[in-house]
Chains A and B, each alone.
Chain A
Amino acid sequence: DARVTQTPRHKVTEMGQEVTMRCQPILGHNTVFWYRQTMMQGLELLAYFRNRAPLDDSGMPKDRFSAEMPDATLATLKIQPSEPRDSAVYFCASGLVPLDRNQETQYFGPGTRLLVL
């Protein structure tokens, strides 16, 4: 049963601390996305990678957020230093870009629920 996995599932931290979230995309998928969901903003894209290369990080606050893909099976999202306004659910999604681009889909992981006090 192929699925996206994320760790940790829950994280409570204090303002100023570093937070690292990890994602394992579905095996064989070549595109990885980081989304953030809040009640106020809904689901918004932070960054995404294709074949491990960053393609778009325009939704990510550059001063404190960073996203990387050290290898094809691991994507990381770091917040340093964390702030209370970063409290949200962070979803990783993965997808495969097929020859027929119309068939492109994304599958979400279970999310990391982050609370910054």
Chain B
Amino acid sequence: EAQVTQNPRYLITVTGKKLTVTCSQNMNHEYMSWYRQDPGLGLRQIYYSMNVEVTDKGDVPEGYKVSRKEKRNFPLILESPSPNQTSLYFCASGQTSYEQYFGPGTRLTVT
């Protein structure tokens, strides 16, 4: 089944404790991206990757890191999470950015 998977789906952590949210796609897509969704703000793009080893900042990259060492994986790293990073996170992939397939989301709470 073609899909984008994210892990974990739910995470509660404390301020400053490094964490990684994994994202994997099995559709051989070139493009991958991370978004956060907050009430009243819609989705905001954090980082995106047009291809392996190529990543670019979206609108809200501060406090996040990504890497694209292989085509199928695009992990999101929070080196020192803070409460304002409490949010619902979505990974997406597509052959291009024109049509993106979204994962099920990861709900992160930072206390």
A and B bind? no
